[in-house]
Structure 1
Amino acid sequence: MSPLIILGIIIVALVIVLVVRTLNFPIRNEEVEPLSLPEVDGESVAQRIGLAVQYRTISNRDPNLVDPEPFEGLHQLLRTLYPQLHEQLTCEVINHHALLYTWLGTNPDLAAVCFAAHQDVVPADESEDSGWLHPPFAGELAEGYVWGRGTLDCKGTLIGIMEAVNNLLKSGYQPERTIYLAFGDDEEVSGLHGARAIVETLQARGVQLAFMLDEGGAVTRGTLYGIDRPVGQVGISEKGYLSLRLKAKVTGGHSSVPPARTAIGSLGLAIAALEANPFPQRLDVIQFMMSFVAEALPFFERMRYANLWLFGGGLKRKLAANPVTNALTRTTTAPTIFHAGNAENVLPAEAEALVNFRILPGDTVTDVYQSVNDMVGDEVLEVLPAQGETIPSEYAWDPTLVADVDSPEFERLAELIRASFPGALVVPYLMTGATDSRHYAPICQNVFRFSPFFLSTEETALMHSANERLSFINAGRMVAFYQELIRMESSLVAEPEIGLEAEHLEEEGEPKPRRVSRRTRQRQPELEEEPSVEEAVELQPLPEDDEPLDVKPLKKK
């Protein structure tokens, strides 16, 4: 047999292997029928969010430096807006200003569920040239949006949860599971005094959670992997966190007679070495994520992920070229602060730099510290923790546990997202930032991170930026989503195989446990971009009272 024939056979066999592996690449999203959610007046919800925005609840790592008045004012606002909720639920102020609401269920044998948000916000530039079209702490309603710091992160979510619970109370709903509403007060500065104190309180009471939902991903289009289709991103884990202080110490002196090794030069070489030798890439996380959006990938792109044994090297180079995808494949290195020198003709005896690391699951704080110390530490340059005296400390943490995507809790959440946002794919993803949810690991295995918003590319960039805003459409849809999710997670003793025929009954009494919708392989229409304000919103006068919203029951399909 000639070499050409042998080569041809090998090529054909290779192509067959590639195609078969591509066709067998798992597709994890199932089609569901669109869901008729309760009708909620989004403009009225937005008005309440605007009231919450007016309180400058800015956190600080040192709780003694926090102004208590805005937090106390926000607490009073919640009591004013939701009197029935405060009558029927127990409200506790934990530590300084964190809030823990308890809605007792009818069955104490069932594990509880928790819905979380945070009260604090990052500062906002209020100067005339800040770029804000509406003042950041005015909570103004304009052009179909509520504007201001915290509308997306995270007072909008907080008010959405309160609205949903309040509406359920007005309808006479009573959960089987106990429900906790947990609102930390220092998430933006690591949650050590808010969320952690809430968890310690629950731990002391022996509470274990079956399900916990915090802020996180949203439904977007065109922002993930180039997929031109709505994608709902549910955070199932968070990267770890570590900041190290690199300190170079030499003998100082006059700049006219520099030694062979200066403090600034040594520090610069160390930073250059860290950037030139990044932590190794691993593709397991992103390959897992891609299995949930495989059906929306072009065939040859899907082939790449299905055959990493052949295409892994090229894929690593492609992913490393994009900062977002690079962060999903490795522990990242980011020099952030540099201190050295105070005169142009004086050699400083010391120079310091802070380097921040976001740690990929599979690595640990100790691993990263040891790697950095081995690479750049010597008799001149010392590697130290940025805060605290030891590693790890409360200022550094390992990646969180990965929630189970095969659990009934994730399945129900994903099904509700697909049903609420027609045409959307649901993908679990690794959050590169940190939220309060990381503190809940000791009492909950199924911790998920998702905010029920449909955000444009522009809107996704607004958190912590000028012109942060939330549309009336998203405000109303958020409340309806939380109402349905609370019903699902608080009423299901076990997952019943019930279809749409078990929708909300007209008779008085508690609604029956049910699935969101029956699965179907029929292709559903894709979620379109939100229409313009003029097309989507007929502006009405704002309500003059604080009456809870009227919630209509789900419609049968």
Structure 2
Amino acid sequence: MPSRSRHLGADPVLLAESVAELVRIPSVNTLQAGPRAHEHGPIGEGALARWLAARTRECGSDTVVLDEVRPGRPNVYARFPGRTDRLVVVDVHTDTVTVEHMTDPPFDGRVADGRVWGRGALDSKATLGVLLALLDGWRRDGLRPEPTLLLAGTVSEEVGGLLGATRFREWVRENDIRIDQLLVAEPTEFRPIHGLKGLVLLEVTARGVAAHSSRPDLGVNAIEAMAPVIAACVAENARLQGLAAATEVGTGTVSVTRISGGEGTNVIPDRCAIAVGRRIVPGEEPGEVVAQLSALIRAACPIPCEITSLLPQTPDGQPGTPAFYQRPDSELVRFLAETCGTTPAVAPFGTNALRYAGLARELVVFGPGSIELAHQATEYVEIADLARLATVLSAWLDPA
């Protein structure tokens, strides 16, 4: 049998081609469809999910489940038996963001200049491609990882309310599965991320009375009525910034991110709507945050207003996403940081980890590349980072 040291990494050429093969299968989220995406075949995660189901069987999976989350958009769960029953999970979202603004061919998956190029190469098909290449090599060499591995390819992470992660959590609970460690694949520059802010997202609609703009006294201007609401949100954000942070995740924030209203330049507007986002920190409950923020908005608005949540309820009925946090000295966080020579960190962006709090003994967000390079007009991952990731995953999964 080959010595274990051979399997602490893999051939960079094979790793690059494994990632490139995934990039060439378009999987643009259906909520970000456009003519350019449609040119390359059906949008959505369906084609990639079917390919992944077949590929994981080739790589040695003994159980593959296609779990329909939305029509034509299934999650994929593939189990790889280990030398022990200890279960670890790698979660990789299978959707990508839009390609309409890309200046590169979005799905050519070319390998050039030490990089793999194309939509999803960084976010987050890099981890999926590297893991598949490793599993295939271990199968051919008669090796198995120390823990049993469950690979979860989940839909709708980029937009749509983390539907795939929500369903995966339900599936784990339905099947009474006990997870020891769960790694959520995202670009983190090899820093193990152990904390994320949650989110409440509200739409506020003020209802006024239309009138001719020459007689504003006959109407009730909904746009003007929204001005003190926006000012109250700005003041609330300033108040939150003045609080002492309980964890490294920091303090909550409030942002007004969208506004609409008015029908014409000569009509007093009878409607104005804004979207208000509230980032949640550890220790805050979405329901309580919604109630507090709604009370603040109603007190500031001088006319009747409606407030609705723009996020789907969590499985336990919360009107938003709680924060995720665990201590930076937990076992998996320390292992990844020491193996990579990086420092544990928290992050401002959202991931599937926001649906997985309490689902595993340990939870971490981790992967190659920088989130700042994701969603751009070009997308790539460094082949050197793929080789580094292969070494880290091999050390974690310990094939023999």
Whether 2:351 is the aligned partner of 1:435: answer: yes
Q: Work out which of the residue numbers 76, 80, 95 in structure 2 matches 1:103.
A: 80
Cα separation, 2, equivalents of 1:136 and 1:172: 37
2:321 aligned with 1:397, yes or no?
yes
User: Is 1:263 the equivalent of 2:240?
Assistant: no
Distance 1:178 1:208 in 2: 11
Q: CA deviation at 1:350?
A: 1.4
Structure with the higher strand share, 1 or 2: 2
Q: Provide the rounded CA distance (Å) in 1 between the counterparts of 2:46 and 2:312.
A: 34
The answer to whether the 8 Å contact 2:287/2:320 transfers is no
Shift of 1:173: 2.1
Match of 2:109 in 1: 139
Counterpart in 2 of 1:444?
360
Aligned-partner residue type, residue 416 of structure 1: T
* SS of the residue 1:45 aligns to: helix
Q: Is the 8 A contact 2:191 2:345 kept in 1?
A: yes
Q: CA deviation at 1:88?
A: 4.0
Residue in 1 aligned with 2:191? 233
How far the C-alpha of 1:77 sits from its partner, in A, is 4.1
SS where residue 389 of structure 2 aligns? helix
Structure 1 residue aligned with 2:269: 348
Task: Report how far residue 213 of structure 1 moved.
Answer: 0.5
2:348 and 2:254 mapped to 1: Cα distance?
Answer: 13
Distance 1:390 1:381 in 2: 25
Which residue type is aligned with residue 46 of structure 1? A
Query: Greater CA deviation, 253-262 or 48-57?
Result: 253-262
- Match of 1:139, SS? coil
Output the CA distance in 2 between the equivalents of 1:38 and 1:390: 42
Whether 1:122 and 2:38 are equivalent positions in the alignment is: no
Larger radius of gyration: 1
2:235 corresponds to: 276
Report what 1:376 is aligned to.
297
**TM-fit CA distance, 1:438:** 2.4
- The structural deviation recorded for 1:353 is 0.9
Q: Say if 2:211 is the partner of 1:253.
A: yes
Equivalent residue of 2:373, what SS?
A: coil
Q: CA deviation at 1:76?
A: 5.0
Pairwise CA distance, 1:276 = 2.9
Q: Give the C-alpha shift of residue 478 in structure 1.
A: 1.7
Aligned residue runs from structure 1 range 202-213, under 5 A: 202-213=172-183
Kindly indicate whether the alpha-carbon contact (under 8 Å) linking 2:76 and 2:154 is maintained by their aligned counterparts in 1: yes
Deviation at 1:343, TM superposition (A): 0.8
RMSD: 3.1
The offset of 1:80, in angstroms, is: 6.6
Deviation of 1:247 after TM superposition, in Å, equals 1.5
Distance in 2 between the 1:331 and 1:381 partners?
Answer: 27
In structure 1, how many angstroms separate the alpha carbons of the residues matched to 2:45 and 2:162? 17
Aligned counterpart, 1:314: none
Change (3 A) 1:345 1:369: same
Structure 1 206/347 Cα, relative in aligned 2: closer, same or farther at 3 Å? same
TM-score computed with the length of structure 2 as normaliser: 0.84
Alignment of 1:400-549 (within 5 A): 400=324, 402-418=325-341, 425-429=342-346, 431-451=347-367, 453=368, 455=369, 460-487=371-398, 511=400
In 2, Cα distance between equivalents of 1:346 and 1:175: 68
CA displacement at 1:82 relative to structure 2: 5.9
1:148 aligns with 2:118: yes
Give the C-alpha shift of residue 69 in structure 1: 6.8
Q: Return 5+ residue gaps in structure 1 as ranges.
A: 1-34, 220-231, 290-327, 419-424, 488-509, 512-557
Name the aligned partner's letter for residue 75 of structure 2. Answer: A
Q: How far apart, in 1, do the equivalents of 2:371 and 2:359 lie?
A: 31
Q: Per-residue deviation at 1:171?
A: 2.8
Deviation at 1:47, TM superposition (A): 2.1
Alpha-carbon deviation of 1:246? 1.4
Deviation digits for residues 190-238 of structure 1 (CA, Å, limit 9, x no counterpart): 564422222222212211111111124533xxxxxxxxxxxx5322122
Q: Note if contact 1:190-1:434 (Cα within 8 Å) is conserved in structure 2.
A: no
8 Å Cα contact 1:98/1:185 also seen in 2? yes
For structure 2, list consecutive stretches of 5 or more residues without a partner in the other structure: none
- Cα distance between partner residues in 2 of 1:237 and 1:102: 27
Which residue number in structure 2 is paired with residue 30 of structure 1?
none
The answer to whether the 8 Å contact 1:403/1:445 transfers is no
- What SS class does the counterpart of residue 433 from structure 1 fall into? coil
Say whether residues 1:84 and 2:58 are aligned partners: yes
Which residue number in structure 2 is paired with residue 503 of structure 1?
none
Q: Distance in 1 between matches of 2:186 and 2:56?
A: 25
Whole-Å separation in 1 of the counterparts to 2:62 and 2:313 = 41
Identity of aligned residues (%): 22
CA distance in 1 between partners of 2:136 and 2:185 (Å): 20
Greater CA drift, 469-478 or 405-414: 405-414
> Do the aligned partners of residues 483 and 462 (structure 1) sit closer, same or farther apart at CA in structure 2, a change above 3 Å counting?
same
CA pair 444-211 structure 1, distance change in 2 beyond 3 A: same
1:57 touches 1:119 (CA, 8 Å); kept in 2?
A: yes
Which SS does the other structure have where 2:10 is aligned?
A: coil
SS in 2 for 1:264: helix
> What is the CA–CA distance in structure 1 between the aligned matches of 2:268 and 2:183, rounded to whole Å?
53
Question: Contact 1:191 / 1:436 at 8 angstroms: preserved in 2?
Answer: no
